[in-house]
C-alpha cells in the first residue's frame, strides 16, 4: 500500500508536474535500476531537489529510500513530522546538537542496516543558486561505516532558480538532473571520503558544462 501511494504521488503526479510543467530533464537515470541499496549524494538549492530525485526512483525503490531532511524545519510539530514522513518518506535530523533527540548519524545508520537507501545533501542547507557549498562530514562517516553501500553522485542544475530558497512561486528555468555511476569509496578516512564524494559531484558539474558548451558550438 505504501509503495502504491508513493508511486501515485511521485510516479504519476510529481512526474507530470516536474517533467511537463517545470520541464526537468534527466540524464543517465538508468544507473539506478540495478541498485538494491545506495546513497544518493547531490548538491542542494531548492525543495524541488528532493522531489526530482524521488521521482527518478522505481516503484520498489521509493518505499525503501529516505531523504534526510532538517527536523527543525520539516518536523517542528508532530503534524509536520508526520506529513514529512507521509509525503517525503523522510528521516528527520536536528541540525543543532543542543536540540538533538537522537544521534543523526545513528538514525541514518539504522536505515542502512535495515537495507534501506538514503538521499543526502551534504551541503546541509540550500545554498545560492548554482553555487556549491562545502560538504559536511556526515556522508564520510556513513560511507566509512558502510563501505559495501555504493554512493551515486548527482548534479542538479536550475532548480535553485526555478524555486529559490525563501520563494513560493515557480520561475520558468531549464532544470537538469545528471546521475553519475555508482561508486564504492576508495578512501577509508572520513575526510578523504568526503573529498572523494565532493569531487565526483564536481566532475558531473564539469561534464554537464562541457557538454552544454559543445552543443552550443555545434
Q: How do residues 137-181 score in pLDDT, each as one tens digit?
A: 999 999 999 999 999 999 999 887 777 666 666 777 789 999 999
pTM assigned to the model: 0.90
The confidence score (pLDDT) of residue 102 equals 72
Any domain includes 1: no
Any domain includes 118: yes
The CATH number linked to 138 is: 3.40.1130.10
How far is it, in rounded angstroms, from Cα 108 to Cα 104? 6
111 or 173: which carries more pLDDT confidence?
A: 111
The confidence score (pLDDT) of residue 210 equals 84
For residue 218, what pLDDT band results from cuts at 50, 70 and 90? low
What's the pLDDT tens digit per position in 1-30? 889 999 999 999 999 999 988 889 999 999
Any domain includes 14: no
Any domain includes 41: yes
> Under the phi-then-psi rule, with left for phi > 0, alpha for psi from -120 to 50, and beta for the rest, what region is 68?
beta
What's the pLDDT tens digit per position in 52-98? 999 999 999 999 999 998 766 555 677 777 787 888 899 988 766 55
Is residue 192 predicted with pLDDT exceeding 90? yes
Domain residue limits at 26:
21-217
The whole-number average pLDDT for the span 184-198 is 96
For residue 184, what pLDDT band results from cuts at 50, 70 and 90? very high
Any domain includes 15: no
Any domain includes 10: no
Which class for 192: exposed (0-12), middle (13-18), buried (19 or more C-beta within 10 A)?
middle
Number of domains observed in the structure of the chain? 1
| 8 A C-beta contact, residue 121 and residue 132 | no
Is residue 197 predicted with pLDDT exceeding 80? yes
The whole-number average pLDDT for the span 169-198 is 91
Any domain includes 67: yes
Any domain includes 212: yes
Amino acid at each position: 500500500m505504501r509503495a502504491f501511494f508513493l508511486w501515485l504521488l511521485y510516479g504519476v503526479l510529481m512526474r507530470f508536474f516536474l517533467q511537463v510543467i517545470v520541464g526537468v530533464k534527466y540524464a543517465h537515470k538508468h544507473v539506478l535500476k540495478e541498485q538494491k541499496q545506495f546513497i544518493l549524494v547531490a548538491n542542494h538549492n531548492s525543495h524541488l531537489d528532493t522531489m526530482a530525485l524521488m521521482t527518478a526512483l522505481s516503484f520498489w525503490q521509493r518505499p525503501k529510500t529516505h531523504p534526510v531532511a532538517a527536523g527543525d524545519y520539516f518536523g517542528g510539530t508532530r503534524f509536520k513530522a508526520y506529513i514529512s514522513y507521509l509525503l517525503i518518506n523522510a528521516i528527520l535530523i536536528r541540525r543543532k546538537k543542543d536540540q538533538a533527540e537522537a544521534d543523526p548519524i545513528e538514525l541514518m545508520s539504522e536505515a542502512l542496516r535495515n537495507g534501506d537507501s538514503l538521499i543526502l545533501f551534504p551541503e546541509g542547507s540550500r545554498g545560492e543558486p548554482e553555487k556549491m557549498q562545502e560538504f559536511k562530514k556526515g556522508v564520510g562517516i556513513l560511507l566509512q561505516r558502510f563501505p559495501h553501500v555504493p554512493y551515486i553522485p548527482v548534479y542538479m542544475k536550475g532548480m535553485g532558480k526555478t524555486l529559490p530558497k525563501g520563494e513560493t512561486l515557480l520561475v520558468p528555468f531549464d532544470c537538469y538532473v545528471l546521475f553519475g555511476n555508482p561508486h564504492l569509496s576508495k578512501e577509508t578516512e572520513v575526510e578523504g571520503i568526503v573529498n572523494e564524494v565532493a569531487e565526483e559531484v564536481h566532475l558531473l558539474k564539469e561534464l554537464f558544462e562541457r557538454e552544454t558548451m559543445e552543443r552550443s558550438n555545434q
